Structure 1
């Protein structure tokens, strides 16, 4: 049974839609063999997509302690999504980078989100999906969140 649109404010509705969409993508990834991933891991992956980072850099970008960053990296290492490698300029420094499996998981998540959006467009029409996207992007900018998205510095909700 659908939710009555006026029962929820726009921010809460967008949060719930995003959460449901992320859970569906997570299930799709697990079905493809990318197990152990949580939505929170995406907040780490966003910082590693473009280049490897040190634990300290990750901690600063994620606004967590180095211990917290190290813990999630160790977890992702155990799942073989990331690895620590020597810095090419200074072998004493270790950088965290996505493994081939990590990059495959990112690509699979992108495909799953695209397929999800295609299903929504089939149901409600591409124009409505694009209008919804445009409105949400405007609201994100209005609320000051667009810069973090562009810089790949989105933090998990607190």
Structure 2
């Protein structure tokens, strides 16, 4: 598959509200495969379609427990609060402390259009929230405290 260039902060696509996916098939499957390959090639734990310049509601996440794919994800439950450090492939060299829900439930569709639901907590919940924010044009720097440069 293809590895895409990561779109960086300043590109308008990162601030757009992404479009809901209505067509499932080979093009979407290829997009998901390419997003996965791009995420792994960049040592990321998550990637949203806008980060490769595609304004569609599609994310991939892998915190080390296996790949999670969501099409049209929506967080339907939030519980608790966790504060931890975050960075982003689209904002290289920056980290900051971000408050997120400790436990969430995400509903959406898989690559074939089947409805799926995933409860998540801790790091997985954080990664999913971060990627879903990208679909609404929200970057972690919009929520972060104590932003700092790292090398």
Scaled by the length of structure 1, what TM-score is found? 0.26
Instruction: Say which structure is richer in helix.
Output: 1
TM-score norm. by structure 2 comes to 0.27
Q: Which has the larger radius of gyration?
A: 1
Query: Greater share of strand residues, 1 or 2?
Result: 2
